[in-house]
Each structure stands twice: as C-alpha cells, then as structure tokens.
Amino acid sequence: MTPLRIGSLCSGYRGLDMAVETVFDATTAWVSDVDPGANKILAHHWPTVPNLGDLTTIRWEDVEPVDIVCGGYPCQPFSTAGLRKGTQDERHIWPHIADALRVLRPRYAVLENVAGHLRLGFDTVLADLARLGFDAEWCLVRASEVGAPHQRNRLFLLAVAADAADLGHERGRGARDGWPGSADHGDAAADADRVGRGAGEQHVRSGKPDAAWGRFLPAVRRWEAVLGRPAPRATDDRNRLSPAFVEWLMGLPAGHVTAVPDLTRTQQLKALGNGVVPQQAAAAIRLLAARTDPATAVPAAA
C-alpha cells in the first residue's frame, strides 16, 4: 500500500510532523516555513524535501496534492503571553491554511496551537473546517501527560474529510471534552528556564548529579526513562539556559537542533520554544483517532 503523503505548514523543526509520520506511517512531500533558523534546520535534516516558503503567497493550485496537511500555526494571536488580538492579529494566518485545505482537499488535517486558542479564534477554525467539508475532533494534552518534566498544555485537532469515499466518515460532530486542563502554560524556553535555573542553582551548591536537580529530580528521571538518555546540564558555563537542555525537554534526539551548522543560540532557543513535543503530539493524535469511526483505519500505537 502506498504510504500517505504529508504537506507540512509552519514546519519549524518538524515536531508535529514527526508525530504525524509515526501515527500514520506517512512520508513528507513538502514543508513550508519562513523563519531563517527553522529553514536551516529543515535544509540540514531534509535537504531533498521542497520548502515552499511563505504560505501566505503560495498558489495552492500549483502545489503537489497530499493526503495529510499538518501545521502548528502561529500562537501569538491567542497566547496569554501576548496581546490576544485573535483574528485581528496580523500574524493570524489561519485563513491561508483554510485556503490550502480548500484547494488541496487532503484526507486529514492535523493542527496544533496553544490552549488559549480554544477560547479565542477557535470557533472560526471549526466553522471554516465545517464549511470545507471536514469533521473535527480536538483535545487538550499536556506534555507532562506523556512523561515530560513540564506542562506545555496544547490544543490538538484532527480533521477528516467527510466526503472521502473510502473513509466512511459522515458523523459531522466535534468533541470538546479532551484531557483535563485548559491553562496556557507558555513556551518551552520559559518552561525550561524555570526548571533549568532551579537546577543551576542546585548545581552550584552540590557537585552530586542527583542533588543538582533538587526538587525537579523525579520529573527529570521520569523523562530520562521515556527518552532513554540522560538529561544534559540545564545551564552553560555562563549560567545561561542551555539549548541542549531545552532540546531534551522537547523530546528531540540529541543534536536535532543544537548540532545544525550556523544556527545561533538565539535561533536554537527560538526554534525550540516554538516547537512541538513529538511524543505529546502522537499521544493526542492517537486519542483523537480513537474517537473516529473504525473505517478511518488510523494505526494504533505499536
């Protein structure tokens, strides 16, 4: 059977894409990002995958059709850390994503954003998806619910094309329940900074590895067990937050961001702060897939 093909929007370091590839056993046809740091990461790891660039200027009629469109579109319009202008924010690019879905007609759409989006602007997304012929399921999942030592509550949405003949998907319903919690906990760099600075202070007072984590030790050990590798030191020699530590917190392979050539520390932290924890996203997608009809045939966890 031919693998499903992914089109990735607002790709970043591709944390959401990794989850989609894993759950759907899919491959990626193209990506799209404009951030210089993110584009260095994309070019380093996926040099043969086309980067379509600015999604607001793309003529979707000229783009290769895909089975799945996924994207964690900018959260600034909806985050409690910002001005919460919602759909009036110039960074609100959902209408362009809706246009991509209208033209490309994928079987699935997988979207991610901050929990605050549920209370601001999400009604517009659901209305547009319904108008385009997609059934939607959504939930809130914290990174801590898959073992991460930070909360990072995020909103995930799985939309299925109701008119896809081979899906038998004609319910036309949504699910607002989802996992507990609705608070917006900010970005990974901020979460890591809280853990990292506490650990850094402990490190100064004690040379013992376990003592260095202080009260964060149980959470750190739990994530080490999930990832199968030890946590790097939280701070660098100048007592600044270490990008390698944030990379570990985000559940990424060592060096996925930090070993990319010519990527500055600022670019590393920006990419990581805007990213998605792949394990968290995979858990959310599987939870949402379990709510759909069996005919959707989304693979279960291995």
Lowest mean pLDDT among 74-78, 250-254, 287-291: 74-78
pLDDT at residue 296, rounded to an integer: 47
What are the residues whose beta carbons fall under 8 Å from the beta carbon of 139, sequence distance 6 or more?
155, 156, 175, 177, 178, 179, 284, 287, 288
Task: Identify the residue with better confidence: 194 or 92.
Answer: 92
pLDDT tier for residue 75 given thresholds of 50, 70 and 90: low
Task: Identify the residue with better confidence: 38 or 82.
Answer: 38
Task: Identify the residue with better confidence: 145 or 166.
Answer: 145
Q: Which residue has the tokens 């490309």?
A: 104
pLDDT at residue 120, rounded to an integer: 86
Domains of the chain: 5-184+277-296 (3.40.50.150), 188-273 (no CATH)
| pLDDT, tens only, 243-260 | 999 999 999 999 999 999
Q: Which 3 state secondary structure label does DSSP give 110?
A: strand
14 is written with which tokens? Answer: 């591709």
264 is written with which tokens? Answer: 């500055």
Does the pLDDT at position 300 exceed 70?
no
Q: Which residue has the tokens 């010519």?
A: 262
pLDDT at residue 291, rounded to an integer: 83
Distance CA 279, CA 284 (A): 9
Task: Identify the residue with better confidence: 71 or 211.
Answer: 71
Contact 49, 30 (CB under 8 A): yes
Does the pLDDT at position 193 exceed 80?
no
Does the pLDDT at position 36 exceed 80?
yes
Does the pLDDT at position 6 exceed 90?
yes
| pLDDT, tens only, 213-244 | 889 999 999 999 999 999 999 999 999 999 99
What mean pLDDT, rounded, does the chain reach?
Answer: 83
Distance CA 197, CA 297 (A): 45
Contact 54, 60 (CB under 8 A): no
Pairing of strands 108-114, 134-141: unpaired
Task: Identify the residue with better confidence: 172 or 155.
Answer: 155
* H helix runs in 89-231, sequence order: 94-104, 122-131, 188-205, 209-213, 217-227
Query: What's the farthest any 2 CA atoms get from each other in the chain?
Result: 64
